[in-house]
Structure 1
Amino acid sequence: MGACLSRLWGESFTPLDLLPSPTLAEKLVALVLDGPPPCQIPALVSALNEAREYLARFPADELHVVVLGGGTGLSSLVGGDSRQPDWPDHPFDGLKELFPHTHAVVCVTDDGGSTGELQKDLPLAALGDLRHVLLSSVQQRILRSRYQLDSTTTRRVVRSLHRLFNHRFTVQPDSPLALLNAAGDTLEDLPTELLEELRRLLGRLFVDARLRPTLDRPHCLGNLLLASAIYGELDPDLGPDELIARPEVVRTATVRGLMALAAVIGAPPNGVLPCTTSPARLQLLYADGVMVTGEHKSSLARRRTPVDRVRVEFASDPFVPCEVLDLVARADLLILAPGSLYSSIIPVLQVPGLARAIRANTRALKLLVANIWVQRGETDVARNAPERKFHVSDLLAAYERNIPGGMAGLCSHVLALGLRDIPGSILQRYALENKEPIYCDRDTVEGMGYRLVEAGIFSSQLLQRRHVIQHDPRALALAVRTLAAVTPLEQPLHRSEPNSLPGSGAPEDDERLATSAVRGDRLLPCQRYHHLNLCLRTIGYRTQGAGPHTAEDLPAGEQRELAARLCEILWHHQDIPSSHLANVRGLMLVDPAAWNRCQRWDQVFSFYDPQDGWLKVRADRLAQQETFETAVLVALGQSILGNYALNKTMEDIPWRDELVGHMFHLELRAPDFSNCLLSPRGLDLFLRLARMRPSRNEPLRYTRLVNGTEGFTPPGLLFGLLYVWYLDNRQVSHIEYKMSIMRMIGSRLIPEQTRTSARRQRLVSFFREEVFGQQAPRAEEADSEEIS
């Protein structure tokens, strides 16, 4: 191959000059994917075809490949997205077709859908992405060999597995057979041995008391099959509490269960492994100081400000399976798969020891496959230049900033789809749908020390059928094989020093926010869910009618329904600790005709009543989940202040027979008689940030001047609204409008705006640290003087 390329490259005009790409690697990838360009000179075409044949004969089946990432991007690269309905039409494409020794290391921070439901009941790491990639890893050779199948039957078996693994049920099944029948009518295509094994796995869900609760929730059947395989490796005498107390036992069972299910469905041994077996959750710190916990919740976030840092928080000491470390050490190719920027590669490489293992393998080709499209909430705003589009260099800078030790030794090549390969009409249609591509900025990427390879690695069939642009598994595999063949012939890569790169990463042993951390209370998700349920079952649920003395307990069924709705709200907002319920005695639904709360300053139809400790919500808020959630969270936020206020009055301010304003007086209850969950220092800090002026002579008195007839948000209500805004800014648009001043560039502000922006930044820090107890790279210290 080297002699062939020397002849092609050595002429003043070579056949490779017919290929328009700028680099040798890009020319050869284009040649493999598209064939020789039209040419009237047979000798030139023959020479290019000769090179293409050499590349096609490259012995990729001897190479060991390790791919790291999250669900959709990783599965697409390994063997196609197995969740798509048309995946069974081409189930054996992708890396596994050309590189049979392909192994996937999967992110475990997913907490949405069926995966999140499983975490309510089982002390396991997230299984959804593992299940997804496991099905994509099924290999024709293994299936045919294990079950003695011909090619046609093998494809029918894969189609049945696809239907089973992706079947979702919402009604509680009454038997394993009912589950199988509901999943489809193609069970007769399954070999007897395979069908019996599936029945055994499903049967365990009904007979193992530890798994039985999972059938009460809507689930993806593939997730339950994997959970059953894991529990099949556990001692049946170990109860839930014992499993929680012995994470090393669950760790071993998770890896063995994956291997057992892989063997059943025709995936290679250790073909799919978790990056860690420790349950983990994702935390995103935005540039405005807000921290969002949970991968699913972060995917819904619309903060309109860049992500500053990412952290993975583990429920127990994170442990990389030794099988993963062995595979990484032996790999010939190490590939970072495309996927969500902050919920795919970064969480994987924040697991202590994994990035170090990749760096230690100095002989492997290390490749990053860049995303094609911007992802809302993650890559829609560039951190260093929020006003411009997102670039490939921004991806690299985010990895550099959030991976311990930066990107040094983790990646040398970047494989990306160039916009010139996308039809302009498609880009225009995507733009109308508010979807934007990630732009390839070659000069910046190469200036950072990477080799950029732009190639047409999208699916032309999907483009023709559905007019969408997605990575094509076969094209990606061919491009990777070409790079594996060509890279040893390229000049050595001279990469910039890591510390000279923008956003250079923290040292590998740094345990600040840029790296992983162990949750302070070490609560597993299933423990948190159980504790929330216990708390919500101990409070009351009542209704208040229009007449006097009409408050009464709700019927038992309605109480259970309300408790379940409250639990889902608190479960979704993982940043809310159960301690925030300390002052809540119950939830009262108030008939609109009986609602007599003054709405002079707001249109918020809920509040916390410190006299009786009840959250009071106007009953018509119950009709829609979003309005009910907002109402509950406002009142819950106010309950943190408890009975902090001893007295509140509004005094008129006259001048020359005219009313020029008002003076709001707030007298605090003495700390010994207050149930406020904030410390006296924390309460004082909040009141100052709310522009309440402390009295010099009376330490428990605060005042606030209100000009003319201007509006005013009392501190208790402001606390509740900010509580909601911090958790989900979409629910309180008026607070979002006020806080948006933080997104303005400082040099463009007049001094008063600068002070306002700084004060609101301190409010965010206060809620992050004092209210929600979240760690940050560094805490902003509030001024001890009055904050204006």
Structure 2
Amino acid sequence: MTTGATRTVWITKSRRPKVVVIGGGTGLPVVLNSLKDQDAEITAIVTVSDDGGSSGSLRNYINVVPPGDIRNVLVSLSDISQEEKDIFQYRFDSSDSFFSGHAIGNLIIAALNEMHGNIFDAVQSLSKMMQVDGYVYPASNEPLTLNAEFVDGTVQVGEKEITDMDKRIKRVWVTNTKSADQPEAVQPVLEAIEQADAVVLGPGSLFTSILPNLMIPNLGEAVRKTRAEVIYICNIMTQLGETDHFSDSEHVGVINQHLGGNYITTTLVNGAKIDMSKFDPADYDAYIEPVKNDFAGLRQQGCRVITDDFIDQHSGLVFHDGQKVAQEIINLAYAAMARKKG
């Protein structure tokens, strides 16, 4: 069902639609994996401000852009065998003080970063080796640090430290970890956004996976200027320490506020009831409750709303139905292509 506008499925295909997906975390690969099955040119722009887990440890040891989200995105778009993907994703469980907990892929990305001297060229090299169908671009060529101001006026630095505060966040911004230079995205990132038919934000943690990318000044400006359909895939569940009790319109409102205007043109929101009897809080202790629908609030921000049963719920876990989401994105991308021709 579509709320607020009538959707058209565009059949005539003069070229593959160009879809840019911006974000990080576990939700992004689900959508990318399904988009890969569509006839589209995909570019994934991946967050580089993660400071937790294996990524954070490597970042501290060798000052590399955190590789975890990049690793997962590469796998989601790769055409190598499943066995090779499993090796790339394998995480050491030994008691070694350094290797314990590290994924092999993270170590490979760190090594290539050292060989090439920068993360962007490292990822392009690895994309060729992994037969990636599309493009994977780090949001910045330098590691970035996430900063947050809370509603109470206090400030915190670092992704993990911010969420651990469990306070309502007022705004976030990024700084260059290694220097006082202004963070910036490299030119291929900006060109991908400029040429896109659809720019997709999410799904993923609002303040720590999506906004860090948009707060890179020239990347945010590219999103503001693009003629593409700007689509936000709203999270299914609220997230502890970030979006406690947020509605879908509040998610969109935060993004628009950070961008300085109503730039989200379409939002995909789940309209189906979640079977909470299947939900195991022990598995998803960071999630609180389903995101509430506020269609009026979304329309007040000039946002088209597409609502459907976007849930893929199995084994007590809740994910987006990647195939349904991907089809909606492709429909919107073709519609944007038609408008550009007109």
TM-score normalised per structure 2: 0.87
Task: Say which is worse superposed, 59-68 or 436-445, in terms of deviation.
Answer: 59-68
Select 2:113's aligned residue among 230, 239, 253: 230
Identity %: 26
1:78 aligns with 2:32: yes
Of Structure 1 and Structure 2, the greater helix share is in 1
- Counterpart of 1:326 in structure 2 is 191
**How much has 1:219 moved relative to structure 2?**
1.4
2:320 corresponds to 1:471: yes
The equivalent of 1:480 in structure 2 is 329
CA distance in 1, matches of 2:87, 2:165: 32
Q: Secondary structure at the match of 1:422?
A: coil
Partner in structure 1 of residue 252 of structure 2: 396
| 1:276 alignment partner, one of 140, 150, 162 | 140
Q: Does 1:422 align with 2:286?
A: no
For 2:189, the aligned partner's letter is V
CA contact (8 A) 1:61 1:98 kept: no
Q: Which residue of 2 aligns with 1:170?
A: 94
1:448 aligns with 2:331: no
Larger radius of gyration: 1
- Alpha-carbon contact 1:366-1:412 (below 8 Å) kept: yes
- Displacement of 1:216: 5.7
SS in 2 for 1:469: strand
> Whose strand fraction is larger, Structure 1's or Structure 2's?
2
**1:734 paired residue number:** none
1:438 aligns with 2:291: yes
CA contact (8 A) 1:65 1:99 kept: no
Paired residue for 1:311?
A: 173
| In structure 2, C-alpha distance between the alignment counterparts of 1:456 and 1:264, rounded to whole Å | 37
Q: Which residue of structure 2 lines up, in the alignment, with residue 287 of structure 1?
A: 151
Distance 1:422 1:64, change over 3 A: same
Is the Cα–Cα contact under 8 Å of residues 75 and 133 in structure 1 kept in the other structure? yes
Which residue of structure 1 lines up, in the alignment, with residue 41 of structure 2?
Answer: 101
Question: Quick one: which amino acid aligns to residue 170 of structure 1?
Answer: S
Q: Which whole-Å deviations, capped at 9, do the CAs of 1:434-459 have from their partners, x for residues lacking one?
A: 73111110011101111111122222
Residue 261 of structure 1 aligns to a residue whose secondary structure is: helix
- In structure 2, relative to structure 1, the CA distance for the partners of 1:456 and 1:489 (3 Å cut) is farther
Change (3 A) 1:429 1:97: closer
Identify if the C-alpha distance between structure 1 residues 161 and 217 changes in structure 2 by more than 3 Å, giving closer, same or farther. same
Q: Distance in 2 between matches of 1:22 and 1:131?
A: 36
Give, as a single letter, the amino acid of the residue that structure 2 aligns with 1:454. T
* Deviation at residue 375 of structure 1 after TM alignment: 0.1
Alignment check: 8 A CA contact 1:310 1:342 kept: yes
Contact 2:47 2:213 in 1 (8 A): yes
Q: Deviations over 1:339-387 (max 9, x none)?
A: 111002211011121121222222x22211111100000111xxxxxxx
1:471-494 residue CA offsets vs partner (Å, 9 max, x unmatched): 02211111212233456789xxxx
Q: Distance in 2 between matches of 1:134 and 1:289?
A: 38
Distance 1:454 1:232, change over 3 A: same
Give the aligned CA root-mean-square deviation in angstroms.
2.7
Residues 125-174 of structure 1 deviation map (CA, whole Å, 9 limit, x = unaligned): 221111111111114xxx5xxxxxxxxxxxxx2233224323234344xx
Residue 126 of structure 1 corresponds to which residue in structure 2? 66
2:119–2:142 contact (8 Å) kept in structure 1: no
Q: Which amino acid aligns with 2:256?
A: E
Aligned residue type for 1:63: P
Shift of 1:289: 2.6
Aligned residues: 332
DSSP 3-state at the match of 1:436: strand
Q: Aligned AA for 2:77? A: S
**In the superposition, relative to structure 1, how do residues 432 and 358 fare at CA in structure 2: closer, same or farther (>3 Å)?**
closer
Pick from 25, 33, 53: which aligns with 1:113? 53
- Structure 2, unmatched stretches of 5+, are none
Distance 1:58 1:484 in 2: 12
Q: Give the conservation status (yes or no) of the 8 Å contact 1:25–1:487.
A: no
Gaps spanning 5+ residues in structure 1: where? 1-19, 29-53, 80-93, 144-156, 173-213, 234-249, 381-388, 491-788
Amino acid in structure 2 at the alignment position of 1:64: K
Q: Distance in 1 between matches of 2:251 and 2:324?
A: 22
Change (3 A) 1:25 1:227: farther
The answer to whether the aligner puts 1:161 opposite 2:25 as a matched pair is: no
- Hey, what's the Cα distance between the residues in 2 that align with 1:370 and 1:288? 26
- Partner AA of 1:70 in structure 2: G
The answer to whether the aligner puts 1:411 opposite 2:264 as a matched pair is yes
Which residue of structure 1 aligns with residue 217 of structure 2? Answer: 352
Secondary structure class of the residue paired with 1:454: strand
Decide whether the 8 Å contact of 1:133 with 1:272 is kept in 2. Answer: yes
Instruction: Output aligned runs, 1:254-269, within 5 Å.
Output: 254-268=119-133
Q: CA deviation at 1:21?
A: 5.2
The 5 A counterparts of 1:518-557 are none
Query: Structure 2 vs 1, CA of residues 21 and 75 (structure 1 numbering), >3 Å: closer, same or farther?
Result: closer
Do the aligned residues in 2 keep the contact of 1:61 with 1:101 (CA within 8 Å)?
no
Could you tell me the TM-score, scaled by structure 1's length? 0.40
Residue 204 (structure 1) aligns with: none
